[in-house]
Amino acid sequence: MTIETETEDTDNVNIFEVSDVNVYYGDFRAIRDVSIDIEANEITAFIGPSGCGKTTMLRSFNRMNDLIPTARVTGELKYRGVSLYDKRVDPVEVRRRIGMVFQKPNPFPKSVYDNVAYGPRIAGNVSKGAEMDDLVESSLRKAALWDEVKDRLKSSALGMSGGQQQRLCIARAIATNPDVVLMDEPCSALDPIATGRIEELMAQLKDEYSIVIVTHNMQQAARVSDKTAFFSVEVSEESDLRTGILVEFGSTDLMFSNPTDERTENYVTGRFG
Amino acid sequence: MALSTLNSGAEYAKEKVAADLQGKSFDFAGAVFRLSLLTGLAFGILILGAVMWDVLGDGTGFLFDRGWDFITGNAKSRSDEYGIFEGLRGTFWIGVFVVVFSFPIGIGAAIYLEEYAPDNRVTRFIELNIRNLAGVPSVVYGVLGLAIFVRALDGFYPNSLDKHLGSTTAAAGATLAILVLPIVIITSAEAIRAVPQALREGGFGVGATKWEVIRHHVLPYAAPGIFTGTLLSLARALGEAAPLILVGGVLGSLGPKSSLFELEQLGERFTAMPLMITQLAKKPAFVGDWNSATAAAILVLLVVVIFANLVAILLRNHFEKKRSN
């Protein structure tokens, strides 16, 4: 398969190639003409004010927008060279390779163990018993949660703190051994200590996974990401409709120190948004 | 700061602040509102208590005197020989029909409406109509049962006698199954709608198919609500009398006694607890103790219905517990 040959050179492989993508909810255009290339084994941050379409863009990467009946995607959105919105593509298979961590921790109302084991179990490629136990342990270790939960794997995930729940959701997402992990404001419901832990975690995970993170927190984007994309809202003068656009995309250092677009500069310096 | 100068003013002296904060004023409107709510509650409980008192007072003694004979005996013309077995048997089979037909069909329809049907005008129109059907008087369902299950399916039942057309236990069960179907659909759909979207997204996010999300996440989460709603609808079916009269329930003895589980009776004529109670209540008070027999029969039906509700509560607790740990 082409995937194998492409991944050999890990420095400059594009995991997503987005060109002229528009996402509509019914007649409403949520994002307009976004073109962006996202590299493998990097952390890419999407920043921007509320309503700028960064979450919409993120949810297009694993076809989560399919769950909204009126959502429609036009343009070309390629994952490792394969068009994601091709008719032959199975969204279930897409989501196995492209995992997701949501804004609010949403563990299943099951035990800690079953939360992590669920994805591999339904994928059917890990057998019960020792093999699954190992996978659960390694996923929880990667999510820096193992030491806290190893004695209560059988107790409910809902009894954990918010930060622990979110790390469990990360463990759940990486248990299926995905290629990419999408994170939609993963720390917005967490305190600074839990946030710090998740940021450390992301830095460790990027060796194995590509990460795209949506965040409202500019310091967070500056701290953790390699590349930053700044989205903004364009308000139509005639109809007052708001559409998300990609303003600028580049290395995080440049975006925060010397952005080319004035709108980016205003946003990152806190004069707008 | 400006604030601190204000704080030191007489306006903020401790005595003044204490007087302001501690001077409770009586919330008259709130008290009246609360009292009226309490009156409503007390009124409801009082009526219920009076009915229970009356039934218990008339029925318990009779029930203890007759004992098991009252439960297993047939409808006789003397109050001290009367038994309600035929009614219990009919009510049992009506319950079986509701559980076997209404529950799976109704829960299935609810899952389809909530999880699969597109959110468009047709779906909303169907949903609105199901809601309306739940409010249709039960007598109308009796007419429906008469037209469909009694007349149209006449001769379909092997044992039905010509002169009785198709007024069989099966027809009665099917009619009541249809009567509660809209209630089962609505309550199940509401339980499914209450499942958080975040839970579905979590399932889809790790690569679950739609079927897996429904089977592993939506249904277990909705189970307590579904069980509560469906079993309450069962209790409703067990207490209905009007549709059964139209379907041709027998207001008297059925004659030879067949046992509770014999399948042949599905094609035979039927009676049920509510019909027996109607009949008993019409008996003259001056020959025998029909008053007590009526109360005793009501007590038995109440126990059956309360049992169904109890099962609903236990199942709900069981699934709620499962959901939270």
Q: Beta strand pairing status for A242-251 and A180-184?
A: unpaired
Residues in contact with B74: Cβ distance below 8 Å, sequence separation at least 6, in sequence order: B83, B85, B86, B253, B254, B257
Interface membership of A175 toward B (CB under 8 Å):
yes
Q: What is the pLDDT of residue B256?
A: 62
Give the residue-averaged pLDDT of A68-77: 91
Confidence category of residue A6, pLDDT binned at 50, 70, 90: very low
Cα–Cα distance, B181 to B104 (Å, whole number): 10
Closest partner residue to B324 (CB to CB) among A102, A109, A122 is A109
Task: Please indicate if any CB of chain B lies within 8 Å of the CB of A68.
Answer: no
Contact B198 A119 (CB under 8 A): no
Spatial contact of A105 and A169, defined as CB atoms under 8 Å apart: yes
Question: Which pLDDT value is given to residue B7?
Answer: 56
**Rounded Cα–Cα distance for residues A67 and B201 (Å):** 8
Which of B120, B199, B204, B206 is the best mutation test for A, with the most CBs of A within 10 A? B206
The answer to whether B217 contacts A108, with C-beta atoms less than 8 Å apart, is: yes
Question: In B, which residues are within 8 Å of A62 by CB distance?
Answer: 205
- From the list A254, A269, A267, A229, the residue with the least C-alpha distance to A45 is A229
pLDDT value of residue B159 = 54
Interstrand relation of A242-251 and A227-235 (parallel, antiparallel or unpaired): antiparallel
Residue B221 to residue B195: CA distance in whole angstroms: 6
Q: H-helix or E-strand containing B37?
A: helix B28-66
Which tokens in the block code for residue B101? 């037909």
- Res. A5: pLDDT tops 50: no
Does B207 contact A at CB distance below 8 Å?
Answer: yes
Q: How far apart are CA B89 and CA B83, in angstroms?
A: 12
Pick out chain B residues at pLDDT < 50.
Answer: 1-2, 160, 163
Q: Which two tokens stand for residue B118?
A: 């597109």
What would the pLDDT profile of A144-190 be if each residue is shown by its tens digit?
A: 889 999 999 999 999 898 889 999 999 999 999 999 999 999 988 88
* ipTM reported for the complex surpasses 0.90: no
Angle of helix B138-145 relative to helix B169-193, nearest 10 degrees?
A: 130
What is the pLDDT, as a whole number, of residue B119? 84
Q: Give the side-chain half-sphere CA count within 13 A for B127.
A: 18
Q: Which two tokens stand for residue A63?
A: 């076809």
List Cα–Cα distances, A148 to A104, A140, A161, in angstroms. Answer: 20, 10, 11
Q: Which residue of A has its CA nearest to B323?
A: A109
The values of phi and psi at residue B33, to 5°, are -60, -45
Cα–chain center distance at A251? 18
> To 10 degrees, the CA torsion angle through B3, B8, B11, B17?
100
Orientation of helix A130-142 relative to helix A112-123, angle to 10°:
120
Distance CA A200, CA A222 (A): 13
Give the helix/strand (H/E) hosting A250: strand A242-251
CA atoms lying within 13 Å on the CB side of residue B313: 6
Higher pLDDT, A252 or B68: A252
Residues, chain A: 273
Amino acid at B69: D
Class of domain B62-324: mainly alpha
Question: Which residues, at least 6 apart from B40, have a Cβ–Cβ distance to it below 8 Å?
Answer: none
What is the residue-averaged pLDDT of chain A? 88
| Cα B194 from Cα B127, distance rounded (Å) | 16
Nearest CB to B201; choose among A92, A106, A155: A106
Checking if the pLDDT of A98 tops 70, the result is yes
**N-terminal to C-terminal alpha carbon distance within chain B:** 54
SS3 B87: helix
3-state SS, residue B30: helix
**Is A104's Cβ below 8 Å from some Cβ in B?**
yes
Rounded Cα–Cα distance for residues B15 and B38 (Å): 39
The pTM assigned to this predicted structure is: 0.83
From chain A, the residues in CB contact with B194 under 8 A are none
pLDDT at A8: 45
Domains, in order of start, for chain A = 2-104+179-268 (3.40.50.300)
Assign A76 to helix, strand or coil. Answer: strand
**For residue B195, what pLDDT is reported?**
95
Residues of B in contact with A99 (CB under 8 A): 205-206
What are the tokens at B260?
């509770």
pLDDT at position A3: 45
pLDDT of the residue at B50: 93
- What is the enclosing helix (H) or strand (E) of B182? helix B169-193
For chain A, report the end-to-end CA distance as a whole number of angstroms.
45
What region, left, alpha or beta, does residue A167 occupy, with left being phi > 0 and alpha being psi -120 to 50 degrees? Answer: alpha
Mean pLDDT of A19-41: 92
Residue B66 sits at the chain A interface (C-beta within 8 Å): no
Long-range contacts, B80-84 (Cβ 8 Å, 24+): B80/B288, B80/B289, B82/B280, B82/B293, B84/B273, B84/B276, B84/B297, B84/B300
Separation CA B79–CA B288 (nearest Å): 6
| Closest to A123 measured CA to CA, from B210, B209, B198 | B209
pLDDT, residue B325, reads 58
As a whole number of angstroms, the distance between CA A80 and CA B18 comes to 70
Average pLDDT over residues A18-41: 92
Contacts of B41 (CB under 8 A, 6+ apart): none
Q: Which residues of A touch B202 (CB under 8 A)?
A: 102, 106-108, 169, 172
Nearest CA in chain B to A97: B207
- The answer to whether the CB atoms of A107 and B202 lie below 8 A apart is yes
Q: What's the rounded Cα separation, in Å, for the pair B104 and B90?
A: 21
Residues B243 and B141: beta-carbon distance below 8 Å? yes
The owner of tokens 């592993």 is B216
Band of the pLDDT at A272, cuts 50, 70, 90? low
